Chains A and B, each alone.
Chain A
Amino acid sequence: MDTAMPYVLLSAILFALGVMGVLIRRNALMIFMSIELMLNSANLALVAFARQWGQLDGQMFVFFIMTVAAAEVAVGLALIVTIFRARRSTNVDDLAQLKG
């Protein structure tokens, strides 16, 4: 292939699927996984662009995004566990008020 554009298209499709997952699922864990899917598709686009232009910067961004994702998962899962302990539920619709 002499262009990295198919990868970008794939990335866009995965991103849209991730968005759909965030919006149609009600389980917090599922939403979280969909967000990971979105992040991952963004990473794919960045790597594709890095390849397209023959530079490392895109890969650097991906590296940072992965690190942030790891941090985010640690905190996010901790939150989910805490919420589950309090409410015995992982349904985000049960979290519709701002007070605990």
Chain B
Amino acid sequence: MNQLLFISPILFPLLGVLINATLGKRMSEKAIGWLASLLVVASFGVSLILFAQLGGAPEDERLTWGAISLGIPWIQAGALSVPFGFLIDPLSATMMLVVTGVGALIHIYSIGYMHGDPRFARFFVYLNLFVASMLVLVMADSFLLMFVGWELVGLCSYLLIGFWFTNIKNAEAGRKAFVVNRIGDVAFILGILLTFVTFGALTFADVFAGVARRGESVQAAVAAITLLLFIGATGKSAQIPLHVWLPDAMAGPTPVSALIHAATMVTAGIYMMARTHVMFEAAPSTQAVVALVGALTALVAGYTALTQFDIKRVLAYSTISQLGFMVAAAGLGAYVAGMFHLVTHAFFKALLFLAAGSVIHAMEHHGHHHHPADPQDMRNMGGLRAKLPLTFVVFLIGGLALAGVPPLAGFFSKDEIVLDALKHNLPVFVLLTISAIFTAFYVGRQLVMVFFGQPRSDMARHAQESPAIMTAPLVVLAALTVLGGALNLPGVGALGYWLSPAVGEFKTHPLDVGLAGLFTLIALGGLAAGWLVYRHAFTTPDLTDPLSRLGPLYALSKNAWYLDALYQAVVVKGFYTLSSFLASVLDLGGIDGIVNGVGRLARGVAGWLGRAQAGFVRAYGVLMLIGVVALVTYFLIVGANAR
């Protein structure tokens, strides 16, 4: 029975999938939405109980306390033996709370947001399936099961990005996410295969024990494995160069962006690295790569976010940038800092997305319905502070947290990462600092463009506050954003000590006043700069971005470093060129020539041999028998001589 309790967080949303998928067509919106939401709430409740029970266990037993083997050998073929089991340790318990907690809030929010959608039931089916899959990923005790969850969340992401598939652009965005993710997934599965080849096991415990036991002798293999795993993480967690799918993924409904593409799924890569930190720590070269890629991602994406006009795209690039912070932390070995930022980011970025959804919702539903303007374009907004007071307040809280204004959650978690960077890796520190400046600037820009000044379109003029079912989750998330920093205060470090059995030694350190001051200054300065630059933008007939005066630098940011164009030119075009070369030259000339030649030869020979074939099957049979008898005779003679 205990086992059932342990896996019930997964089973609850699955139950929702089952019910809504089969009966959803006959149920009312309310019933569908609340059923799905309450099941996730139940899942959260159970997670909380498990969390508490885990907390009650003695500290040195917490790693093994929640190891659940269902007693079913999942795969048992030859040398491959993978038990089917789950693991609830401090790390996964924390993730379970984040996934189910934030997930529950977003489910509730979606009841309002998706109201009236013709595929309402399907949306909640996907959403529930996602929560279940994410829990599988998080609770897996082996690489293989984690990969199953990994692929399942990828599937849900794909389905939800293309949820409004009747618009071809959305379907294409879904496909892009799918294809780009596959690249990472191939690397991931190669990493898993290499792990199995090297260690002969796939459960985390066995593999880690293998790493510890064999140390030096497997160093090269571990380096290769971690590199492959990291490439997998770059796909899922949108790190350069595989980050291009995430901005497009904003085509999905906004709750999806909040849940999957900000708070949970995209952090799977960071979670995976924290989970396998034993291996990463045994591969310093990979760690250096990880830190550098993370910091570069933070910078590149932050820079891109500066000039976007789509309210969700800004947040998307911001998400990539913040994921870069977390990945950099993982690369620095500061898994606690990374996880801390993961949690706080889940709070404030979910908050920002949902608030942005509230803005979009208000623009769409209370403006002119057939309005040609884009309800997500910030140039059409402005002055919404008065129309959407509550949304404004929570967006402001989220934005300040993202910018890193103390004492909001984002400040503490970001601070911990940069402190680690300063101690261990100066280039990374510099990159992160610059991206922090960018962050504050685009947050300021976004706040100004959306909420201040005068409304710049009819939609904005007629916007009304969203219903309570949408704002209530916002308030809860805002509260979490305000209080989230307390999870791991400098000098106290509750989260760090809690996680330390799972992610390695942790020792809290007092607040570095100088660094904190610097980053507070950066945050406030960036916000102020954003405010100053955009205070009067887009109000005059001149609709150009004030930053466009920067010329090529502006274009670089606006076009997201031309990466999509580059991929189009190099990968897609290159592939086409190669294909057409293969088709016209190699295939037509070379292979077809050979094939035709062989064909002509065969036809000639066949014409000659055909006379031996009367078409009577028994004649062939006798010929075969002659062969058999001849062979047996031959072996008899050879055998006799051999003796």
Contacts and interface: CB of A to CB of B under 8 A. Distances in A.
| Contact between chain A and chain B defined by CB under 8 Å | yes
Interface of A: 19, 22-24, 26, 92-93, 95-98
B617 A92 contact: yes
Given A23-B618, A92-B618, 16 more contacts: A19-B625, A22-B618, A22-B621, A23-B621, A23-B622, A23-B625, A92-B616, A92-B617, A93-B616, A93-B618, A95-B617, A96-B615, A96-B616, A96-B617, A97-B615, A98-B615
Nearest to B625: A19
Contacts of B621: 22-23
A95 to B, nearest CB: 7
A98 B617 CA distance: 11
Give the secondary structure class of A's interface: helix
Contacts of B615: 96-98
Interface string B602-643: 000000000000111110011001000000000000000000
A23 B628 CA distance: 14
Contacts of A22: 618, 621
Contacts of A96: 614-617
Question: Chain B CB within 10 Å — which of A23, A92, A95 has the most?
Answer: A23
A98 to B, nearest CB: 7
Contacts, number: 21
Nearest to B628: A19
A23 to B, nearest CB: 5
A92 B625 CA distance: 18
Nearest to B615: A96
21 contacts: A19-B625, A22-B618, A22-B621, A23-B618, A23-B621, A23-B622, A23-B625, A24-B618, A26-B618, A92-B616, A92-B617, A92-B618, A93-B616, A93-B618, A95-B617, A96-B614, A96-B615, A96-B616, A96-B617, A97-B615, A98-B615
Interface residues of B, number: 8
A21 to B, nearest CB: 11
Contacts of A95: 617
Nearest to B614: A96
A93 B616 CA distance: 6
A1 B617 CA distance: 41
Contacts of B622: 23
Nearest to A92: B617
A97 B622 CA distance: 18
A56 B622 CA distance: 35
Contacts of A24: 618
A88 to B, nearest CB: 19
Nearest to B618: A23
A24 B615 CA distance: 16
A70 B621 CA distance: 23
Interface string B524-566: 0000000000000000000000000000000000000000000
A98 B614 CA distance: 11
A4 B615 CA distance: 41
Contacts of B625: 19, 23
Pick the 4 closest A-B CB pairs, nearest first: A96-B615, A23-B621, A92-B617, A96-B616
Contacts of A98: 615
Interface string B230-244: 000000000000000
A2 B618 CA distance: 40
B171 to A, nearest CB: 42
Contacts of A92: 616-618
Contacts of A26: 618
A19 B415 CA distance: 85
Contacts of A97: 615
A26 B617 CA distance: 10
Nearest to B617: A92
A97 B625 CA distance: 22
A16 to B, nearest CB: 10
A23 B616 CA distance: 11
Contacts of B617: 92, 95-96
A92 to B, nearest CB: 5
A20 to B, nearest CB: 9
A22 B624 CA distance: 12
A41 B621 CA distance: 18
A69 B622 CA distance: 23
Contacts of A93: 616, 618
Nearest to B621: A23
A93 B618 CA distance: 8
A33 to B, nearest CB: 15
A98 B615 CA distance: 8
A95 B617 CA distance: 8
A22 B620 CA distance: 11
Nearest to A25: B618
A95 B236 CA distance: 60
